Amino acid sequence: MKPLEKYNPAVIFLYFLLLASLAMFAANPVMIAISVLTMNAAAVAYSREGLARSYVFYAIIFVLTSLANPVFSHNGVTVLLVVNDNPITLEAVLYGVMTGFMILSVLLLFRVFSTLMTSDRLLYIFGRAFPKLGLLLAMTLRFVPLFGRQRRKIENTQRTLGLYKDENAIDTIKGKLSVLSAMTTWGLENGIVTADSMSARGYGIKRSRTSFSMFRFERSDLGLLLIVIASCTFIFFGIATDKLKTDFYPRMQLPPFSPYATVCYILYTGLAIFPLVAKVAETLRWKWISGKAYDDKIKR
Amino acid sequence: MLVIRNRSLRRLLRVLIPFVAVPAAVLVGAYVFKDKVYAYISLIITILAIVLFISGFEKRETGSRRMVIVVVMTVLSVIGRFVPVIKPVATITVISGVYLGGEAGFLVGAMTAVISNFFWGQGPWTPFQMFSWGLIGLFSGLLAGRLKTSKILLYAYGALAGFLFSMIMDVWTVLWMEEGFSWEPYFAAITTALPMTLLYAVSNILFLISLFDPIGKKLERIKRVYGI
């Protein structure tokens, strides 16, 4: 098994898209539990920094969604308490909690997705379908750090010339505005130079042009694609024919455990745990290789 | 991977999306999934609307200079999103729409959402932000003549843009948190977001006062000097 980053970006994109839609469409407690557990683990395995801060944000979203449902929905038979003549029911609370977990798992999934889908991968996917937009995106991504550096240069220059003060709020704003003004002029002029340079190198010539990319479509990509599509079709068929349906109103029912549903749960677990397994396998292999290298060194 | 270099295929896409794909998404949502997932359906429709717009953009010839100017405005607005508390994103989108046309306004708004979310976090909200900011830019391009002559109208549009953005994003909030759209939580969401909405509106007006003329003059100059 190769690490997730090594697969073709289009396959990875489709995989995450289908996984997210399964979590959202199913509305089945078992599947949501599976996806919360696996996505939490995957988020921890894949995140580089700032996970703790994101979890604060996720917790707020979770609490808000869980509370929103019992406040606005008064279906259900088990009344817990009555607020302003509006019954707060156990079923509505449970449903709210489930929705909260669903959204939490989707948010975590998007987090893993955005660490894997770097901008070059997104460009690979969309740049072919929309070449001009792809170019716009690529140029913007390149210009953001360039402009940031230029902003610091202009600010330092103006400071040295004594034009920039930040002693009080008004001075700071004035200073920032004058930096912005210089930035705009520089950016536009610089952009014209870039555009002319592009034209000189043949951009816009009416012949099909190719672009370089690091990604290929290999046999393992085809394998993953087929597995993902087959299992998602199976589960989607189950959802569409109500085989995975779990009613919350008027009274909460247990999620179905028919043979079909059980197969769906197993398939879904397999799908959702894949990023984590790939990451663990990669780490173990790395440990093994570096351990072997260490042994070799000792022997010598 | 789908390659849309073919001119006729792109034209087909422009017909297919509004007349086949969007109704199909609505019908599938209504019958197969029994309206359970409004959020997902509206997400798909939003993406389709953006694709539709982009396929029109891809078809047309755009000079490389004009394109790079759009990129520069997008970068300015992406960097603007790093300003604490008040964000000049909508303002720069409006300026681009007024001086470079509605299409450029849409692109600046939509691309700002995509690019800045690489820094602020991508999520299912990205297409909705693209759509809201894009529309702000598109309409400012359509109203360009009036907005250039009347300052009062311009500031009113800035305030309206703030409210519009908040209201579109709140539709998304409700769709995402609830099963389907209903007015009660929507009004609750709008009321909770009111301070933020007012902040958007006020900061839009402030930024329009301080940025519209200076940046507009620079854009006019660039257009005249380099013949764009």
Q: Is the pLDDT of residue B62 over 80?
A: no
Partners of residue A135 in chain B, C-beta under 8 Å: 67
Q: Is the pLDDT of residue B64 over 50?
A: yes
Per-residue CA distances from A244 to A15, A191, A270, B25 (Å): 21, 55, 17, 22
Least-confidence region, from A54-58, A252-256, B44-48? B44-48
Q: Is the pLDDT of residue B6 over 70?
A: no
Helices (H), chain B: 7-16, 22-31, 38-59, 64-80, 89-100, 102-120, 126-142, 144-149, 151-177, 183-192, 194-226
pLDDT tens, position by position, B119-129: 776 667 778 88
Least-confidence region, from A219-223, A244-248, B90-94? A244-248
**Is residue B96 within 8 angstroms of chain A, CB to CB?**
no
Q: Are A300 and A270 in contact (CB under 8 A)?
A: no
Q: Is the pLDDT of residue A166 over 80?
A: no
B191: burial class by Cβ within 10 Å (0-12, 13-18, 19+)?
exposed
Q: Which pLDDT belongs to residue B193?
A: 82
b (16+ CB within 10 A) / e for A128-157? bbbbbbbbbbbbbbebbeebeebbeebbee
Nearest to A137 among B72, B114, B226 (CB): B114
Q: Which pLDDT belongs to residue B2?
A: 34
Tell me, what's the ipTM?
A: 0.76
**Is residue B222 within 8 angstroms of chain A, CB to CB?**
yes
Nearest to A128 among B3, B114, B118 (CB): B3
Q: Is the pLDDT of residue A35 over 90?
A: yes
Partners of residue B58 in chain A, C-beta under 8 Å: 130-133
Average pLDDT for B102-109:
87
Q: Which pLDDT belongs to residue B1?
A: 23
State the Cα–Cα distance between residues B100 and B216, nearest whole angstrom: 10
Mutate to test the interface with B, among A144, A185, A233 (most CBs of B within 10 A): A144
Rounded (5°) CA angle B208-B210-B211: 65
State the Cα–Cα distance between residues B131 and A226, nearest whole angstrom: 33
**Percentage with pLDDT > 90 across chain A:** 25
**Is residue B85 within 8 angstroms of chain A, CB to CB?**
no
Distance in Å, alpha carbon of B106 to nearest chain A alpha carbon: 12
What region, left, alpha or beta, does residue B155 occupy, with left being phi > 0 and alpha being psi -120 to 50 degrees? alpha
**Is residue B3 within 8 angstroms of chain A, CB to CB?**
yes
Q: Are B60 and B48 in contact (CB under 8 A)?
A: no
Q: Which pLDDT belongs to residue A22?
A: 86
**Percentage with pLDDT > 70 across chain B:** 73
Q: Do A129 and B114 touch (CB under 8 A)?
A: no
**Percentage with pLDDT > 70 across chain A:** 96
**Average pLDDT score, chain B:** 79
Q: Is the pLDDT of residue B174 over 60?
A: yes
- Quickly list DSSP for A193-244: HHHHHHHHTTTT-SS------S----HHHHHHHHHHHHHHHHHHHHHHTTTT
Q: Tell me phi and psi for residue A259, to 5 degrees.
A: -55, -45
Between chain A and chain B, the number of residue pairs with CB atoms below 8 A apart is 143
Q: Which pLDDT belongs to residue B3?
A: 38
Q: Is the pLDDT of residue A109 over 70?
A: yes
Q: Do B58 and A106 touch (CB under 8 A)?
A: no
Q: Tell me phi and psi for residue A253, to 5 degrees.
A: -105, 160
Among the ranges A100-104, A222-226, B97-101, B210-214, which has the highest mean pLDDT value? Answer: A222-226
Distance in Å, alpha carbon of A285 to nearest chain B alpha carbon: 31
Q: Do B37 and A25 touch (CB under 8 A)?
A: yes
Q: Do B68 and A135 touch (CB under 8 A)?
A: no
State the Cα–Cα distance between residues A189 and A183, nearest whole angstrom: 10
B80: burial class by Cβ within 10 Å (0-12, 13-18, 19+)?
buried
What region, left, alpha or beta, does residue A160 occupy, with left being phi > 0 and alpha being psi -120 to 50 degrees? alpha
Is pLDDT larger for residue A91 or for residue B13? A91
Q: Are B57 and A132 in contact (CB under 8 A)?
A: yes
For residue A34, what pLDDT band results from cuts at 50, 70 and 90?
A: very high
Q: Are B54 and B60 in contact (CB under 8 A)?
A: no
Partners of residue A190 in chain B, C-beta under 8 Å: 72
Rg (CA), chain B: 18
Q: Do B185 and A68 touch (CB under 8 A)?
A: yes
State the Cα–Cα distance between residues A98 and A93, nearest whole angstrom: 9
For residue B114, what pLDDT band results from cuts at 50, 70 and 90?
A: confident
Q: Is the pLDDT of residue B172 over 70?
A: yes
Partners of residue B188 in chain A, C-beta under 8 Å: 72
Q: Do B64 and A72 touch (CB under 8 A)?
A: no
**Is residue B215 within 8 angstroms of chain A, CB to CB?**
yes
State the Cα–Cα distance between residues A261 and B16, nearest whole angstrom: 36
* CB count in 10 Å sphere of residue A222: 12
Q: Which of B219, B176, B88 has the alpha carbon at shortest distance from A65?
A: B176
Chain B residues 142-161 within an 8 A CB cutoff of chain A: none
